[in-house]
Every structure is written in structure tokens, then in C-alpha cells.
Amino acid sequence: MTAPTTHAPQPTTHKNMTMVAAINDALDIALAADDTVHIFGEDVGVMGGVFRATDGLQAKHGQERVFDTPLAEAAIVGMGIGMGLAGLKPIAEIQFAGFLYPALDQILSHLGRYRHRTRSRYHLPMVIRAPYGGGVHTPEQHADSPEAILAHTPGVKVVIPSTPADAKGLLLSAINDPDPVFFFEAIKLYRSIKEDVPTGDYRVPIGKARIVTQGDDVTVICYGGMVEVAHKAAAAAHAAGIGVEVIDLRTLVPMDTDTIITSVAKTGRAIIVTEAPRTAGFHSEIAAIIAEEAIEHLRAPIIRVTGFDAPYPPFTAVEDVYRPNPLRVAKAIRQVMDY
């Protein structure tokens, strides 16, 4: 919507693939199209990444273009900033979003404000990819959802796809965006869904939400790993005669406010679903926007279905208590319908 996005010709061929394969495909296309694209991070080279998102890319594009770094997130991001300043397009992988924290100084102090502090003399066309979120029984610290920290940082964009085709199309848009983009990939979705993905240089514009299901009664706003959860709840509600409009935000910064407000104006009910902790999350921003711009349409309080204000629990037996599931979303739907 706001990013200068070049749309490739409408693809005529598709290939059925998982989200991780779609991401690999996008990276492969970007490396082939532009010599300045460089991919680096921990284990992205020889090993192809812990989730294999960069599998085969070093062998195909060379050790200078796809390379392993020492283990240090601040330097990975800081080095990427320097590479971006000097004319390259850096794509850094942070192995898990929960490992971003050591790099926050580089991100908050520099990545987001380089264009500003140099009056656009320099800009950073950098992409930082990070697997995020729970649902797959990872160890401590591997399942965090830190997107609100980034969304609160001026000067960086935040993109979170929920389907293989969107992952490819949004990632290629991110790589071609002149500004820094955080690209969060829901670990739960890497291999659990497959769909037909357009081949070639396929782009999905940054800043435009996707309406997953249409409905007249309730708007459910979500992104990334929660789209699948909301979709299941919407299907159940539909069977019970309740029309649920599920909006996949796709991009938190910039946010497609128009799509949210148009939908809430139609339904009069809003539920926001994320797996991040509840207090001060991005869901709170969405709720505030609805309150500011559509309160006259509301027929029920806005409800947030979220994780809790505790660290994400790596306890398999109770992990699902933390992470929103379709039943919790369904309960929220009943709640706003019965209000």
C-alpha cells in the first residue's frame, strides 16, 4: 500500500509447496536477480538453517553471497547495517525471534533511524528473518512473539505471513523494499500447510491486509500463526449460523487500518487474536485504532484473545493453555454475540 511495490506479470504457473519451501524459493529468486543480495546468520550456509529455509542456497550462489557468521546477534544485525550503508541488500536470519534481544540496541538505536539521522543520505534495505511463535514444543526462549517491540520502533516495517504464497510474495516485496523489514515466520506453519504458490518473481504488497473469510457478524483480526486458529473458529461459528470475517493483517507496520475499520463498521464486533503476551501487545494497538475510528459502530466490547503476561511456557503438557486455540476464539465470538 505504501511501499513502492513492483508487481511482476501475473504468474501463470504454480507449484504446490510448504511455507518453508516458499521462503527458500523467494530467497533463491532474490539471490539470482540481484548480486547485492547477501544472506547471512548462524547456520544458514552449509547447513541451510535450522529449519532449512536457506537449504541449498550457498551451494548454488556461493559462499560469499550466503555465509555463516559467528554466533552473536548484535553483530549480525550491526554488520548488516554496515553492509546496507555500503550498498548491499543484507538478509539476516536470526535463528529464533526469541534470540533477537541481544540485537535490540542495534535495531532500536540504529536500524530504525538511519534514514532519519542521515536525512535519507543513507537508507537500509535490510531484511531480518526470524522464526517465531509456539505450538511446536520448542525449548525455552524459542517460542516468543516479540513483534510489538519492533512495531513500536519507528523506521522499521513488520511483516508476518500466514500462508506459503503470502510468505513468498511478501518476502520478495520485503527484499525489494528500500527500508528495513522484519519478517517473522510462524514456526508452526513452516511445514503444516501446503498450497499452490505462483512460480517466478511473485510479489504481495506490504501494507495490505487479506480477508480470509467474509462475514457480517464478527470481525476477527489476526496474523501469522493465529490465522489458522481463527479460521477454524470461524468455520465452526459459520456452521452455527454466525458470519465471521477473518482478517489476516499480513503487515503490522504499516498497518492496513482501512480494511479493519471497513469490516468493523459492517460487523460491529471486533476480536483480536495474537499469541503474544497480553499487556501492551500489538493487539492493544489494533483495539485502540478501532476505539478511535469505529467506536460508533461497536455493538460489543473489543476482545483480545492472547497469550498471558508470563514467559511462554516450554512445558509440553500445558503449552496449549498459553497459546490461543480455536476454542478460546470461539468463546470470544459467543461473548460478543451474546453481549
Partner 1 sequence: MVQCLAPDGSVVREDLLPDPGTRLELYRQMRRARHFDERGWVLYRQGRLGVFPPFGGMEASQVGTAAALTKNDWLFPTYRDTGAALTLGLPIARTLAYWRTSPHGWHMPADLKVLPFYIPIATQYPQAVGAALAERRQGTRNVAMAFIGDGGSSEGDFHEALNFAGALNAPCVFILQNNGWAISVPTRAQTRATDLSRRADGYGIPGVRVDGNDALATYHVTREAVERARDGGGPTLIETVTYRVKPHTVADDPSRYRSEADTAGWDAKDPVTRLRTHLLNAGLMTEASEADLLAEIAAEFEAALAEADSYPEPTPAEILDHVFAEPTPQLKKQRAEILAEHAQNGTQSSKEQA
| Footprint on this chain of partner 1 (rule: CB under 8 A) | 1-4, 38, 64, 67, 69-70, 72, 74-75, 77-88, 90, 102, 105-106, 109-110, 115-123, 154-155, 157, 177-179, 207, 253-255, 257-258
First to last CA, the chain: 35
Indicate if 142 belongs to the active site: yes
Q: How far is CA 314 from CA 98, 133, 197, in A?
A: 13, 12, 33
Q: How far is CA 123 from CA 78, 112, 241, 271, 305, in A?
A: 14, 10, 50, 37, 37
Nearest distance from residue 283's CB to partner 1, in Å? 17
The residue (of 92 and 97) whose beta carbon lies closer to partner 1 is 92
Q: Phi, psi at residue 88, to the nearest 5°?
A: -100, 170
Nearest distance from residue 267's CB to partner 1, in Å? 22
The residue (of 78 and 134) whose beta carbon lies closer to partner 1 is 78
Nearest distance from residue 97's CB to partner 1, in Å? 19
**3-state DSSP call for residue 299?**
coil
The residue (of 247 and 329) whose beta carbon lies closer to partner 1 is 247
Q: Please list the alpha-helical segments (H only) found in the chain.
A: 19-33, 57-61, 73-85, 104-109, 114-117, 147-151, 164-175, 225-239, 257-267, 282-294, 319-322, 326-338
> What distance in Å separates the CA atoms of residue 34 and residue 322, rounded to the nearest whole number?
42
88: left (phi over 0), alpha (psi -120 to 50) or beta: beta
The residue (of 111 and 303) whose beta carbon lies closer to partner 1 is 111
Q: Which residues contact 279 (CB under 8 A, 6 or more apart)?
A: 309
Nearest distance from residue 88's CB to partner 1, in Å? 5
> Per the residue annotation, which of 38, 61, 110, 142 is the catalytic one?
142
The residue (of 105 and 196) whose beta carbon lies closer to partner 1 is 105
Burial (Cβ within 10 Å: 0-12, 13-18, ≥19) of residue 13: exposed
Nearest distance from residue 111's CB to partner 1, in Å? 10
> What distance in Å separates the CA atoms of residue 256 and residue 247, rounded to the nearest whole number?
10
Q: Phi, psi at residue 67, to the nearest 5°?
A: -140, 150
Q: Which residues contact 232 (CB under 8 A, 6 or more apart)?
A: 326, 329
The residue (of 172 and 187) whose beta carbon lies closer to partner 1 is 172
Nearest distance from residue 108's CB to partner 1, in Å? 9
Which positions are annotated as active-site residues? Answer: 142
